[in-house]
Structures are given as structure tokens and as C-alpha cells.
Structure 1
Amino acid sequence: MARPLKALLSRDAILRAALDQIDTTGTLGLPALARSLGVSTSSLYHHVKGGREEVLEGVRGLLSAECMPAHRLPGESWREFTERWALSYRAGYAAHPAAVPLLTTQTVSHPATLASYETLAEVLHEAGFGDEELLHAVTVLDNFVLGSALDAGAPVEVWADRGSEDSALSRALRATRAQPGDRSQRAFRLGLESLLTGLERLLPV
């Protein structure tokens, strides 16, 4: 029997099917993943010997390669790069919010993801952040981006409107509905601007 012209299964196909499963179900199970690909679970291990953890890390790398900048543009200030990094990172993960809780359960180790964090760390270090505070700055940025990515998958009505004129929250909900654009995206831009301004105040004069 002639061999097939191309492999029936590939690492990329596995990772993209895994991301589809996460988007649809909010979880990742290798038996279900294998069924979706029409193969046995054991066949997956020929491509992802580390099992579920390796698949998840591969999904992280898939997203990171598409949305997390790993290079600073010529003449780009630390604030400009960090803003671009956060906006792109948030946009990529906001498209797959169900992946966020799964990816935060294990250590970041994918080379593409680490390359982006390394560039951010270098940019912040050159701006004046010392080793003692740099990781905290990266953590704050990371937490904010991932939290906003989760918010992108929240219900349209996050808070119930009691309809009371005496309620500051109800008035704010109605005012926000009247605004153009996406609430989560607007909130992210406001928070990012505030966060960058706060980080800037930590830098030596």
C-alpha cells in the first residue's frame, strides 16, 4: 500500500484542534481531542510526548507567536513598546478567553512566549527598572492583560441594573451603554494608560 502524501497528524494540527476544543468547551481533554482528530489517544503522544501539559504549552506558543511582540521597533520608547505589547497581547488572548484559566495553571516555558517577555524585560530594564522591581512590573502588566482578556469573554451585562435613580452603579451602566464601542476594550485602554503612568512614576528622574 502506498504511503499517504502527507502525514495524517501533525503537531500544528493537534494544537489548533486543542485551541478549538478550549474555545468550545473551556477545557482540554486528550481523549476528546483525539476523537476530534479521528485518531487514538496514543497517536497524540507521538507528536506531544509531554501529554496535556505539552499541548497546553503549545497552545500558548501558538497564541504568543501570533500576538506577542518579540522585537522593539526603531526609535520606540519603553512606553510605546509596552503599550503595543499589551494591546497586541490582549487582542490575541481576548479572542480565546477560555484559554486564560488553563494557561495560568502551569509555568510559562514556550520559547516564543519567553522571547516576548524577554524583550519586555529588556525594554523596562533599559528604561530604568532594576532587577528587584522589574519582575513585579512585568507581573502587574501580565495580570492586567490577562484579566482584561477574561473580561472580553464576560456577558454583555456584567452587572445587573436595578433601574434605580438612586443607584450610582445603575446610572453608570446606562451611561456606558450609550457610549460607542466595546466596554471591555474602553476599560482596558483606560486601565493601561493609568498603569503605564503609574509605572513611569517609579522610574528615576
Structure 2
Amino acid sequence: MGEVDLTVFDAPDDWRTALHAWARSYRAALAAHPHLVPVLAQGPGRRPHALRLADAVFGCLVEAGWPRGQATRIGALMRYFVTGSALGSFAAGFPDDAALYPAADYPHLGDAHRLADHRRAVDEGAFDTGLDALLDGLELRYRRLR
């Protein structure tokens, strides 16, 4: 957790940019150390780096004007999203045997056997799409608070 960039929270009024940069840094750290994901899924516990991370996210959101309860839920949501995305590869779940995807049974999966070859692009693209969608939704909620 010491590899996660928390300096992105130095400008708390720009919460969206900070969360975006933090989520990408957090995911990169988890990708570099995937064996930690199950441990982190149990919460910050007494681990100083994990507690600093939680403190930075919560503090940024509250200082930007989010109510404390919502800031807590958003911090949890972001942690669930990032750690969930690091649990495994979507693309790697599709074997590269074209015979497993007969058109009669799976008319839309004709190229699924090629996904594993594009694993990184698929997984990174899915993460980016999800992160943007999540932050877009939070942005709408934030505007309603104002």
C-alpha cells in the first residue's frame, strides 16, 4: 500500500481528479502485488499504509464538501471497485479454443477465443470504462448537493 500515490489528494477541492488518479495508482499497486488482494479485501485493519489511504480518501471527499456519511460510502465503493478489478482478468476467463464457442449456442461470441491475446487492453479498458462511469455518477450526485 506504500506504493499507492496519496499526493493526488493534496488538492481536496478537485475530488474527482484525485479519485481518478488514486484509483489508477491503487490498481497499479495491486497488479504488481496480486497476492495482497485477498488480504486487503478484509479492510484496513491496523495496517498504517491502508489507514493512511482511507484517511486520505475520506479527508479529500469531506474537504470537498461531501457529507461524512456519503464520503464513507464513496471510499468503500472506490475500494470495492479497485480491489474487485484486481481479483482477476475478464479476458483470461475465455479459453483460446474457438471450438468452445459454436455459433449455434453463442451467436455473439465468435471472437471470444481471441480475448486472451488482448487481455491487458480488455482489462485496462474495462477498468477505465467503469472508473469513468462511476465518477460520472458521483459527479451527478455531487452537483445535486450543491
Fold-level similarity (TM above 0.5): yes
Asked if 2 retains the 8 angstrom alpha-carbon contact of 1:121 and 1:138, the reply is yes
Higher relative contact order (CA 8 A, sep 6+): 2
Deviations 1:84-129 (A, max 9, x none): 1100000001122222113323652222221122111111112222
Deviates more, 1:165-174 or 1:134-143: 165-174
Task: Say yes or no: does 1:79 pair with 2:22.
Answer: no
- Supply the RMSD in Å over aligned alpha carbons: 2.9
Deviations 1:54-113 (A, max 9, x none): xxxxxxxxxx11124155245871111100110000000112222211332365222222
The alignment's TM-score, normalised by the length of structure 1, stands at 0.57
Separation in 2 of the partners of 1:146 and 1:74?
A: 24
Q: What amino acid is the match of 1:188? A: F
Q: Which of 40, 43, 48 pairs up with 1:111?
A: 48
Separation in 1 of the partners of 2:34 and 2:22?
A: 18
Instruction: Give ranges in structure 1 of 5+ residues lacking alignment.
Output: 1-63
Structure 2 match to 1:12: none
Asked if 2 retains the 8 angstrom alpha-carbon contact of 1:68 and 1:113, the reply is no
How much has 1:195 moved relative to structure 2?
0.5
Asked if 2 retains the 8 angstrom alpha-carbon contact of 1:83 and 1:192, the reply is yes
Separation in 2 of the partners of 1:138 and 1:75?
A: 14
Structure 2 match to 1:128: 65
Separation in 1 of the partners of 2:125 and 2:42?
A: 28
Instruction: Give ranges in structure 2 of 5+ residues lacking alignment.
Output: none
Q: Percent same amino acid among aligned pairs?
A: 27
- Structure richer in helix, relative to its length: 2
Alignment of 1:138-157 (within 5 A): 138-151=75-88, 154=89, 156-157=91-92
